[in-house]
Amino acid sequence: MELRAVSKRFGGVQALRDVDLAVRQGSIHALVGENGAGKSTLGKIIAGAHRHDSGEMLVDGRPVAYGSPREALADGIALIAQELSLVPGLSVMENVLLGTEAHRLGMLDARTMRRRFGELEELGFNLPADVPVGSLRMADQQKVEILRAVAREVRLIVMDEPTTSLTPDEAERLFAVIRDQAARGTTIIYISHALESVLELCEEVTVLRDGQVVRTTPAARQTVEGLVTAMIGRSLGAIFPPKQPPASDAPVVLSVRGLATSGWVRGVSFDVRGGEILGLAGLIGSGRSEIARAIAGAERREAGTIEIDQQPVRINSPREAVRRGVALLPESRKAQGLVLGNSVLDNVTLPHMHAFQRGGVVLRSRQRARVQEVCDQVGVRAPTLSGSVSSLSGGNQQKVMFAKWLCRPPRVLIADEPTRGVDVAAKHAIYELLVGLAARGMAILLISSELEEVLELAHRVLVMRRGRIAGELDQADEKAVLRLAFGTAEPQSGAR
Ligand SMILES: Nc1ncnc2c1ncn2[C@@H]1O[C@H](COP(=O)(O)OP(=O)(O)OP(=O)(O)O)[C@@H](O)[C@H]1O
Ligand SMILES: [Mg+2]
């Protein structure tokens, strides 16, 4: 696959400029770059989801111009998009086989479908065939998406951040699948912010910056630091800011007792003091997000009490949570966090409109000034605040979600995977933000599947396992967290 001088403009934004890219058949080729660098746009052009304005695309030396993803697919090119695109009402098997030969035979030949699905399952993804996709957790949905691309037996797959919801284990399994596909001659274009895995998995790496190719080099000749410098045009010092422990007399801001959810969270109790970052570690599905949502009124509590600033509070809806000063940065920005069709302006101020109104009149200039201020603070790169959030790159959407909660700082910030999909420089900015907010007295509950984030940022870590607190650690220690998360150690004395 080859691109020659490909350019693409969205209104006033030059998303890609004269991009040259040559990808060898059967190779695993990475695309890296900051949020908004143009990676997804490039992937979508290759897979027929966008048309380039100028330049040429060649497949097997033959010029192609796909008018739609369907045309690209017919020519053997599939895209695993950054935002998943599954049909929630259909089963896992149907989603995976949608549009393939086995599916075209229809329900009439359920046996063929089942056999084909069985073959695919040998990849080791352990997905239930008959469960509706909508009821699966994010990580499993991501696996369905991957399996679907593999099922289509295409010759080129563009994977746009396929591992963002996967555990390290699951990601390793995906890498095995990718290597296997490549060995069979399938070409893989792999887009990711996880630079270490990029170097481990890929043969060639192309760095994009502001829509232009900075360079393409063999991965073997690259280091993470070198890539970062090429991506952001400068070198980045320490990623994690130094820890600032909360004042020894800092009052408890959030107190949770005996929390139980309709899921499997039971008997969860903990306190978070002002200025403290409490980490919630554990495997995906261990109940961390359930706790987050239950405290923020987004999931029903079966039992348990919540106190904010030592006052018992009733939080039975997200609206009540906001009023009590509890903000949730949810795990899935698409499903829970943002109204993608609305503007940046509206999304950021949605929960706070009362603060920008006087006598029923919206104070537009005040609203705009405040939104600009918080967007600058978190480094949102948006051409205009009035543009829809859906036109921003994935990482910038994540930053808009952050801006939304900073607009009126809460007492308690629950951050569930706050850096999912954001580039290294933005990660750094988000870490500094979290540390800065804590320093100003906010209580922060931090959930992350990147263990390093929890260990480097949190002052204390609770490890969840199967809906319960398996232990509490004051000293960040990776091995101890993993032992507790996997249940290979007795609960510690700190466990309640
Ligand atoms: N549909 C669209 N309408 C308008 N602008 C768009 C659209 N899609 C992308 N853009 C803009 O094009 C630029 C490149 O975006 P793109 O999504 O390709 O970035 P990316 O490298 O994938 O970033 P990320 O790491 O955040 O996913 C950004 O400035 C983005 O705002
Ligand atoms: Mg992207």
Q: Note whether 164 and 80 are within 8 A (CB).
A: no
User: Quick check: 102 pLDDT over 70?
Assistant: no
Q: What is the mean pLDDT of the chain?
A: 88
Ligand minimally distant from the alpha carbon of residue 81: 2
User: Quick check: 235 pLDDT over 70?
Assistant: no
Is the distance from the beta carbon of residue 33 to the nearest atom of ligand 1 less than 6 Å? yes
Among 318, 288, 271, 248, which residue's Cα sits nearest to residue 453? 288
pLDDT of residue 493: 42
Distance between CA atoms of 46 and 251, rounded to whole angstroms? 55
* Averaged pLDDT, 131-157: 86
From 13, 158, 399, mutation site for ligand 1 pocket: most ligand atoms within 8 A of C-beta: 13
* Averaged pLDDT, 409-431: 87
pLDDT of residue 373: 93
User: Quick check: 100 pLDDT over 70?
Assistant: yes
- Enumerate domains of the chain plus CATH numbers: 2-232 (3.40.50.300), 252-486 (3.40.50.300)
Q: Which residues lie closer than 8 Å to 215 by C-beta, 6 or more apart?
A: 206, 207, 230
User: Quick check: 489 pLDDT over 60?
Assistant: no
Q: Which residues lie closer than 8 Å to 397 by C-beta, 6 or more apart?
A: 333, 338, 340, 389
User: Quick check: 301 pLDDT over 80?
Assistant: yes
Higher pLDDT, 305 or 337: 305
Question: Lowest-pLDDT range, 94-98, 137-141, 199-203?
Answer: 137-141
Is the distance from the beta carbon of residue 13 to the nearest atom of ligand 1 less than 6 Å? yes
Kindly report the length of the chain: 496
320: phi then psi, degrees, rounded to nearest 5:
-65, -35
pLDDT of residue 9: 95
pLDDT of residue 406: 85
Q: Note whether 65 and 234 are within 8 A (CB).
A: no
Task: Give the Å distance between the CA of 422 and the centre of ligand 1.
Answer: 13
Among 346, 350, 347, which residue's Cα sits nearest to residue 334? 347
Q: Which residues lie closer than 8 Å to 412 by C-beta, 6 or more apart?
A: 253, 254, 272, 295, 308, 325, 326, 327, 442, 443, 444, 445
DSSP assignment string, 285-342: TSSHHHHHHHHTTSS-EEEEEEEETTEEE---SHHHHHHTTEEEE-S-IIIII--TTS
Among 19, 62, 66, which residue's Cα sits nearest to residue 44? 66
pLDDT of residue 36: 86
pLDDT of residue 491: 45
pLDDT of residue 172: 86
* Averaged pLDDT, 379-397: 88
- Residue 422 tokens, joined: 């954001």
Task: Give the Å distance between the CA of 182 and the centre of ligand 1.
Answer: 28
Q: How confident is the model at residue 236 (pLDDT cuts 50, 70, 90)?
A: low
Q: Per residue in 154-208, pLDDT tens?
A: 899 999 988 877 777 778 888 988 998 899 899 999 999 888 899 999 999 999 9
How large a percentage of the chain has pLDDT more than 70? 94
* Averaged pLDDT, 387-399: 87
Ligand minimally distant from the alpha carbon of residue 396: 1
Distance between CA atoms of 207 and 215, rounded to whole angstroms? 6
Distance between CA atoms of 427 and 421, rounded to whole angstroms? 9
Which atom of ligand 1 lies closest to the CA of 396?
Answer: 26
Among 69, 79, 83, 59, which residue's Cα sits nearest to residue 149? 79
Task: Give the Å distance between the CA of 145 and the centre of ligand 2.
Answer: 16
The identity of residue 435, as a single letter, is V
User: Quick check: 110 pLDDT over 50?
Assistant: yes
Is the alpha carbon torsion for 146, 169, 140, 455 positive or negative? negative
Task: Give the Å distance between the CA of 391 and the centre of ligand 1.
Answer: 6
